[in-house]
Amino acid sequence: MTKLDSKIPAGSIAEKWTNYKAHQNLVNPANKRKIDVIVVGTGLAGGAAAASLAELGFNVKVFCIQDSPRRAHSIAAQGGINAAKNYPNDGDSVYRLFYDTVKGGDYRAREANVYRLAEVSNNIIDQCVAQGVPFAREYGGLLDNRSFGGALVSRTFYARGQTGQQLLLGAYSALSKEINKGTVKLFTRREMMDIVKIDGKARGIIVRNLVTGKLERHGAHAVLLATGGYGNVFFLSTNAMTSNGGAAWKAYKRGAYFANPSYVQIHPTCIPVHGDYQSKLTLMSESLRNDGRIWVPKKKSDAEKVQKGELSPVNIAEEDRDYYLERRYPAFGNLVPRDVASRAAKERCDAGHGVGNTGLAVYLDFKDAINRLGKNVIEARYGNLFQMYEKIVDENPYETPMMIYPAIHYTMGGTWVDYELQSTIPGLFVGGEANFSDHGANRLGASALMQGLSDGYFVLPYTMQNYLADQITVPHFTTDGPEFEQTEKDVQETIDKLLSIKGKHTVDSMHKRLGHIMWDNVGMARNKEGLEKAITEIQTLRKEFWNQVSVPGEKNGMNIELEKALRVADFLELGELMARDALNRNESCGGHFRDEYKTEEGEAMRDDENYMYAAAWEYKGQDAEPTLHKEELVYENIEVKQRNYKTA
Under the rule (CB under 6 A), what is the footprint of ligand FAD? 40-46, 63-66, 72-74, 76-81, 163-164, 190-192, 226-229, 238-239, 243-244, 246-247, 283, 285, 409-410, 432-434, 446-449, 452
Q: Which residue's CB is nearer to ligand FAD, number 328 or number 567?
A: 567
3-state secondary structure of 408: strand
Q: Which residue's CB is nearer to ligand FAD, number 172 or number 611?
A: 172
**Residue 357 and residue 345: Cα distance in Å, rounded?**
16
Q: Which of 343, 440, 462, 457 is nearest to 81 (CA)?
A: 457
Please report how close the Cβ of residue 4 comes to ligand FAD at its closest, in angstroms: 23
Residue type, 416: W
328-342 as b/e: b if 16+ CB within 10 A: bbeebbbbbbbbbbb
Those residues whose C-beta lies under 8 Å from the C-beta of residue 2, and which sit 6 or more positions away, are 424, 618, 629
Please report how close the Cβ of residue 156 comes to ligand FAD at its closest, in angstroms: 8
Please report how close the Cβ of residue 632 comes to ligand FAD at its closest, in angstroms: 27
**Residue 83 and residue 157: Cα distance in Å, rounded?**
7
Please report how close the Cβ of residue 564 comes to ligand FAD at its closest, in angstroms: 13
Q: Which of 576, 580, 501 is nearest to 545 (CA)?
A: 501
Residue type, 279: S
Q: Which residue's CB is nearer to ligand FAD, number 457 or number 597?
A: 457
Residue type, 250: K
**Residue 430 and residue 533: Cα distance in Å, rounded?**
32
**Residue 601 and residue 511: Cα distance in Å, rounded?**
36
Q: Which residue's CB is nearer to ligand FAD, number 221 or number 409?
A: 409
How many other C-beta atoms can be found within 10 angstroms of the C-beta atom of residue 116? Answer: 24
Please report how close the Cβ of residue 249 comes to ligand FAD at its closest, in angstroms: 9
**Residue 577 and residue 269: Cα distance in Å, rounded?**
27
Q: Which residue's CB is nearer to ligand FAD, number 27 or number 240?
A: 240
Q: Which residue's CB is nearer to ligand FAD, number 243 or number 262?
A: 243
| 160: DSSP letter | T
Please report how close the Cβ of residue 527 comes to ligand FAD at its closest, in angstroms: 27
Question: Is 552 within 8 Å of 501 (Cβ atoms)?
Answer: no
Please report how close the Cβ of residue 445 comes to ligand FAD at its closest, in angstroms: 6
Please report how close the Cβ of residue 555 comes to ligand FAD at its closest, in angstroms: 17
Please report how close the Cβ of residue 263 comes to ligand FAD at its closest, in angstroms: 13
Q: Which residue's CB is nearer to ligand FAD, number 50 or number 589?
A: 50
Please report how close the Cβ of residue 195 comes to ligand FAD at its closest, in angstroms: 11
Note the helical H segments in 309-408: 324-328, 338-350, 367-373, 375-393
Q: Which residue's CB is nearer to ligand FAD, number 175 or number 531?
A: 175
Please report how close the Cβ of residue 191 comes to ligand FAD at its closest, in angstroms: 4
**Residue 39 and residue 159: Cα distance in Å, rounded?**
27
Please report how close the Cβ of residue 505 comes to ligand FAD at its closest, in angstroms: 24
Q: Regarding beta strands 505-506 and 549-550, do their DSSP bridges make them parallel or antiparallel, or are they unpaired?
A: parallel
Question: Is 211 within 8 Å of 558 (Cβ atoms)?
Answer: yes
Please report how close the Cβ of residue 1 comes to ligand FAD at its closest, in angstroms: 29
**Residue 66 and residue 333: Cα distance in Å, rounded?**
40
Q: Which residue's CB is nearer to ligand FAD, number 79 or number 170?
A: 79
Q: Which residue's CB is nearer to ligand FAD, number 64 or number 428?
A: 64
Note the helical H segments in 420-506: 448-453, 460-468, 482-501
Q: Which residue's CB is nearer to ligand FAD, number 248 or number 612?
A: 248
**Residue 540 and residue 171: Cα distance in Å, rounded?**
43
Q: Which residue's CB is nearer to ligand FAD, number 431 or number 530?
A: 431
Those residues whose C-beta lies under 8 Å from the C-beta of residue 488, and which sit 6 or more positions away, are 206, 215, 217
**Residue 167 and residue 170: Cα distance in Å, rounded?**
5
Question: Is 205 within 8 Å of 92 (Cβ atoms)?
Answer: no
Q: What is the DSSP string of 88-143?
A: T-SS--HHHHHHHHHHHTTS-S-HHHHHHHHHHHHHHHHHHHHHT----B-TTSSB
Q: Which residue's CB is nearer to ligand FAD, number 262 or number 437?
A: 437
Strands in 166-248 per DSSP E: 184-187, 190-198, 201-209, 215-219, 222-225
Please report how close the Cβ of residue 241 comes to ligand FAD at its closest, in angstroms: 11
Please report how close the Cβ of residue 192 comes to ligand FAD at its closest, in angstroms: 4
Q: Which residue's CB is nearer to ligand FAD, number 284 or number 468?
A: 284
**Residue 159 and residue 376: Cα distance in Å, rounded?**
17
Q: Which residue's CB is nearer to ligand FAD, number 9 or number 413?
A: 413
**Residue 232 and residue 247: Cα distance in Å, rounded?**
14
